């Protein structure tokens, strides 16, 4: 397919533009752990099945999104935490996604979908097309089933100006079980990155040079991230594992490269450290807002300083 | 963890018991392709976003489930085709799952989830626990993120008498891109099977000997299936790719082993060939019922004869 999208914006451009304007690469993960939602927002026992739980979660997340406005470029809802609440959770995910987009955020849906051809098409239609019920700006997907199973997402992303982030080296302790296995001289995750290289290259925007096909590389594996950056110089990296999972700011921005306004090329995700700071566990709205704002400021400063030290 | 579940049934037992009683290993995949739903059930343009679409799909699937009653042991809804309809689709999936279980079917949810620890827990709570919104008897999951990410599903399955099917060798043409890569002397999918072996063994039922941890092996790769059976003698195999995807009955039951009532050890999935037979594309309810019943009978006979030829 030709890389011409005369009437469609590239997700790669939208992402990098927003980050340049905002001035930091922080992505906030919306992982509503029900037992951690502060007393201020809790209603009833907060069990997933209780209809009040989705409403309480809605008010928590919308208040949080309000506090994030103008401070970060992109949010990343974690689909599992919504699915757990059944159809009310799905309804909430639709609402939160559209609310955040209305406020100018990009929404990267973390659903890690992966299935064969016609089913992958149905997932693409769930998240990436113009009339998708949970219309997101980008989606995380798994490469395990093969390159043919990534095509439907890429096709949908091309037509609709959205993006795709493929799992390559994940942040969890056991990610090495299969991703690090040696295939000849290289690890499986490097092999995957090699196979993705032409797909990512073919989806680069002529304006900023950044691709709309990104990859996921845990902040917890910075050396592996550096290898991947060599293989994929124009591919946006989604970097989870910063903060609560133990990755430091220095490691989180290790794969960033020099751009016109400073180092760029990735988004660094933090979920629990922003959503559930210790002091946010309160009944008091002012205390809660201060705790969240402090947590955002801390992460933004932490990443901005780490980027400044690269210069 | 000890393999004692004094007050909980094993999914492995429930599966094999039901198949022995019913007498065939056919699993019908509920993949509601909206453009293929017959005129008899269509309402409006059948776009995913139209609220009437979920209702029309509901009446199609419930009528289908009625025709399947007492003919097969297990159905496999494909989550993507429901998610595409937004929260109404999720609501429908909840309803269909519970309707089918009420009629005595086991429900294997084909969602192919895969995510890190705490998120995998949320997915397990979406599908595998007693109070899950889409309470299924078993769930398909991806091993790509590592063994630690499979633990939450297995834990939930142990406590709740449910099952887990891990993707190993998928039925699609591109499944070889990564699954067939050579890691030393073995393919990646064999390595995955080796790592799953102790987990599956540890989840075997003392009564039938079958595990509640299964794997997915495409009917389109029968030789690979035979290798996997050697590695995993007591692991139920979910075998997609029979019928519309090109796998024949002989190949689909290649991995079955001799049991007390004949060959057993797997379920063979057919979706499109059962749901959308040519003659089912009609306005006439009698014609539709005949077409579906014929398609079920054809697949059941086809598999039963292939199994008889093994004896």
pLDDT in tens, B89-98: 999 999 999 9
Sign of CA dihedral A233, A237, A243, A246: negative
Per-residue pLDDT, A3: 43
**Residue contact A146–B112, C-beta within 8 A:** no
Which of A55, A103, A112, A201 is flagged as catalytic?
A112
Please name the member of A132, A146, A176 whose beta carbon is closest to the beta carbon of B172: A146
Give the distance from residue A117's alpha carbon to the nearest chain B alpha carbon, in angstroms: 8
What are the chain B neighbours of A120 within 8 Å (beta carbons)? 80
Per-residue pLDDT, A261: 85
Per-residue pLDDT, B6: 60
Q: Which residue's structure tokens are 């506090």?
A: A67
Per-residue pLDDT, B243: 83
In contact, B151 and B128? CB cutoff 8 Å: no
pLDDT digits (tens, 9 = 90+) for A236-281: 999 999 987 778 999 999 999 999 989 999 999 999 999 999 999 9
The share of chain B scoring above pLDDT 90, in percent, equals: 95
Give the distance from residue B260's alpha carbon to the nearest chain A alpha carbon, in angstroms: 35
In contact, A75 and A28? CB cutoff 8 Å: yes
Please name the member of B49, B86, B118 whose beta carbon is closest to the beta carbon of A90: B86
3-state secondary structure of B218: coil
Query: In this model, does residue B260 exceed pLDDT 80?
Result: yes
- Outline where DSSP puts E strands in chain A: 26-30, 74-77, 106-113, 138-141, 163-169, 182-183, 186-187, 213-217, 237-239, 257-259, 262-264, 266-270
**Residue contact A125–B84, C-beta within 8 A:** yes
What are the chain B neighbours of A195 within 8 Å (beta carbons)? 177-178
Q: Which domains does chain B have, with CATH numbers?
A: 11-310 (3.20.20.70)
**Residue contact A87–B87, C-beta within 8 A:** yes
Distance CA(A225)–CA(B13), nearest Å, equals: 45
Query: In this model, does residue B214 exceed pLDDT 60?
Result: yes
How many helices (H) and strands (E) chain B has is answered by 12, 12
What are the chain B neighbours of A86 within 8 Å (beta carbons)? 90-91, 94, 126, 133-134
Query: Best interface-test mutation with A: which of B126, B169, B244 has the largest number of A CBs within 10 A?
Result: B126
| Catalytic (active site) residue B112 | yes
Q: Nearest CA to A34 among A4, A60, A67?
A: A60
**Residue contact A145–B94, C-beta within 8 A:** no
Query: In this model, does residue B1 exceed pLDDT 70?
Result: no
Average pLDDT over residues B252-270: 96
Query: In this model, does residue B2 exceed pLDDT 50?
Result: no
Per-residue pLDDT, A7: 73
pLDDT digits (tens, 9 = 90+) for B106-133: 999 999 999 999 999 999 999 999 999 9
Per-residue pLDDT, A224: 95
Please name the member of A88, A147, A178 whose beta carbon is closest to the beta carbon of B143: A178
Mean pLDDT of chain B: 96
Per-residue pLDDT, B156: 98
User: Taking the C-alpha atoms of A143, A227, A233 and A14 in order, what is their torsion angle to the nearest 10 degrees?
Assistant: 60
Q: Low-confidence residues of chain A, pLDDT below 50?
A: 1-4
Per-residue pLDDT, A2: 43
pLDDT digits (tens, 9 = 90+) for B181-193: 999 999 999 999 9
Query: In this model, does residue B200 exceed pLDDT 60?
Result: yes
Please name the member of A83, A91, A132 whose beta carbon is closest to the beta carbon of B126: A83
């Amino acid at each position: 397919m030709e890389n011409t999208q005369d009437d469609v914006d590239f997700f790669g451009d939208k992402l990098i533009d927003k980050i340049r304007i905002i001035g930091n690469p922080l992505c906030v993960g919306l992982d509503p752990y029900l037992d951690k939602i502060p007393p201020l927002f809790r209603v009833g026992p907060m069990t997933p099945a209780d209809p009040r739980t989705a409403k309480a979660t809605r008010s928590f997340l919308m208040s949080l999104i309000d506090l994030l406005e103008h401070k970060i470029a992109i949010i990343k809802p974690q689909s599992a935490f919504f699915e757990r609440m059944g159809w009310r959770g799905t309804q909430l995910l639709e609402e939160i996604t559209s609310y955040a987009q209305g406020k100018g955020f990009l929404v990267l849906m973390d659903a890690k979908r992966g299935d064969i051809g016609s089913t992958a098409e149905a997932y693409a239609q769930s998240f990436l097309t113009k009339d998708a019920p949970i219309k997101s700006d980008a989606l995380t997907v798994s490469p395990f089933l093969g390159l043919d199973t990534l095509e439907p997402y890429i096709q949908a992303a091309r037509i609709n100006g959205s993006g795709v982030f493929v799992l390559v080296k994940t942040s969890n302790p056991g990610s090495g079980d299969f991703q690090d296995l040696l295939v000849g001289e290289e690890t499986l995750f490097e092999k995957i990155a090699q196979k993705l290289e032409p797909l990512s290259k073919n989806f680069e925007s002529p304006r900023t040079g950044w691709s709309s096909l990104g990859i996921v590389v845990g902040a917890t594996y910075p050396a592996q991230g550096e290898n991947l950056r060599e293989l994929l110089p124009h591919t946006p990296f989604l970097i989870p594992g910063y903060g609560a999972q133990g990755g430091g700011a220095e490691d989180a921005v290790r794969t960033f490269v020099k751009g016109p306004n400073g180092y760029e090329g990735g988004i660094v995700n933090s979920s629990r450290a922003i959503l559930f700071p210790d002091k946010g566990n309160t009944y008091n709205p002012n205390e809660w807002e201060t705790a969240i704002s402090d947590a955002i400021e801390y992460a933004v400063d932490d990443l901005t300083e780490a980027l400044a030290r690269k210069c």
